[in-house]
Structure formats: structure tokens, C-alpha cells
Amino acid sequence: MKPSLRLIIWKPALFCLLLCLFVAVASSFGQEIALTFDDLPAHAQLPPGVTREDVAKQIIKALEDAHAPKSYGFMNAEKLQQAPEDVEVLKLWRAAGLPLGNHSYSHMDLNANSVEAFEHDIQVNEPLLQCMMQGEDWRWFRYPYLTEGETLKKRRALRSFLTDHGYRVAEVTVDFSDYAWNAPYARCAAKKDAKAIEQLKASYLSTAAEYISLGQEMAKLVYGREIKHVLLLHVGAFDAVMLPQLIDLLKQRGFKLVTLQQAESDPAYESDPDLGLKMGKSLLEQMMQAKHLQVPPHKEKPFKELEFLCREPSTASHN
């Protein structure tokens, strides 16, 4: 074979090989995820000596150290009625350039209230949001407890209200119930139980890893492809401690941190399961149910273990 002809044949083969390698690498490292934080300015118990401002500063530092894009914090203004000083948390959040969204005024459960009451709770949260955001986009709504209406009529009515008022729903696709670790951490820190705290750290990360993988699997079942994800977190003391390690875990899994807007630019977020549900569920869980798909096997969240950790025996026996 002439050298020139051999080169002509070899070049396309090389191109195909390189293309395959590029696709393989892209599929392994092309995942994107937005970090979002609920319950500002205050969530769960605090360990002795830790303030709400300390928690906010720790979360902000972890985000800055990771060069994370701007993460939304979802606010319940009613909490300032009992602790007005916690407005400093919101000021810190905004001073760091982080945006705020609406989580309802009182963290109201839509399933336990009327549509009219819930709409009012959204609207009375708005004045402080407008003041804090100063013209930036605050019209993102995160359902408390992820409950969107136990009846289809209620769900549709609230969705219509949000659309009419210019809101987008801050959906969730990855949720490992991070909130469940904050109260046990406060108890174990109060008892200075270092061994139990290490146990909490291990279970937090292993559960996060489990449900990150589950979110990826469900996305492929529902949409037939990888999607951009949104992770639900809270402004809790243990979340603040674990955020650097959680971000490292995400990066090890090939995730790139993006904004909520970037994540929800994925067409997957145009999906509406259109279901009335008694329990709060992520978008992917809702879509799985709407499509009558079976959730892949996975380890359950360690709620029972967390409930009893670092409790006095007499207290634990009554729960």
C-alpha cells in the first residue's frame, strides 16, 4: 500500500478513536449540579458555643474555597420574629453575593393548609426578599417539605399562582435528607462525644454518595440520559462542618458546580409530573411515579440511628 493511501485511511481511524475517547471522558465528567440551601436564616439545633452567624460564615467560606458559583438560599422571614438578630445571617449571605429565594414566610406545609393560606404565606415573605435582593432575581420558590399539594386540584392551583406571579420552582433532584444529621450533631457536640461525631460524618457522606448515585440512575430511567441536578441542603451546623467534604465528594464523582439557573436550563425541568401526592418528593421521584417506574434498589436513610444517637437512655426510650 502506498504511504499516502495508508495515511488517508489512518487519519479517519485516528479521528474516530479520539472522538470515542472524548465522548467517554465527557460522559464520565460532564455532570453538573447546583447547590441550594433551605431554611435561612436558621435551621435546627446549634451545638454549644456556635451561633447562626458562625454557621453562615462557615458555609460561605466553604463555597468560596471551592470557587462555587452563586448558590441560592431559600428564606423564611417569620424566623426573625423570634430572633431578630438572625437578620445578620441574611446580610452575610448577601454580602457574599449569594442570592435569596422564597421558601414561604413560615415554612408552611401546603398539604396541611389551604391554597389561599399558602399563597398569602408566599406573598408576606416577599417584602424582605425584595429589600435584601435589591433588583436581583428572587422569584424562585422552593416548596417547604417538598410537598406540592395532596390533591391534583391544589397542586395545579398553586402552580398557576406561581406562574402568574413570575416564579420558577426551584426543583430538587438529589435529596439525602441532610437535615437529619443536624440535631444529632448538636447533641453529640454537647456531650463532647468525638467517636459519635466521627460516626455522623461517615454516615452523612455515605448516605450522600448513595443518593447522588440514585439521582443519576433515576434520571437515566426517566429521561434516558444524564441531566443537570439540583441538590437540596440546609443551613445547619453539621451541614456547615461537612460542606467541604461533600463538595470534594461531588468533584470526585465528576460533578461540576453550577448555578440554579444553569441547572434548570436543562429541558428535564420542563417536566410536570402533574400528581397529587401526600408526601414530599423530589422531581425525579415524582417523575418515576408518574411514569410507573420502579425506584432502583438503594440503602435507606439512617433515620432511626440518627434519632437515638447521643440521647440519654431515658429520653430515647420514650421516642
User: 5-36, pLDDT tens digit by residue?
Assistant: 444 444 444 444 444 444 333 444 479 999 99
User: 196-238, pLDDT tens digit by residue?
Assistant: 999 999 999 999 999 999 999 999 999 999 999 999 999 999 9
Side chain identity at 29, as an amino acid letter?
A: F
DSSP β-ladder status, 31-40 and 255-258: parallel
Mean pLDDT of the chain: 91
pLDDT for residue 27: 40
Cβ-Cβ contacts under 8 Å for 122 (sequence gap 6 or more): 102, 104, 105, 141, 161, 165
Percent of the chain topping pLDDT 70: 89
Alpha-carbon gap, residue 191 to 295, rounded angstroms: 39
Residue range 241-245: mean pLDDT, rounded: 98
User: 81-102, pLDDT tens digit by residue?
Assistant: 999 999 999 999 999 999 999 9
Confidence label for 313 from pLDDT (cuts 50, 70 and 90): confident
Cell of 42: 436558621
pTM of the predicted model as reported, rounded to 2 decimal places: 0.89
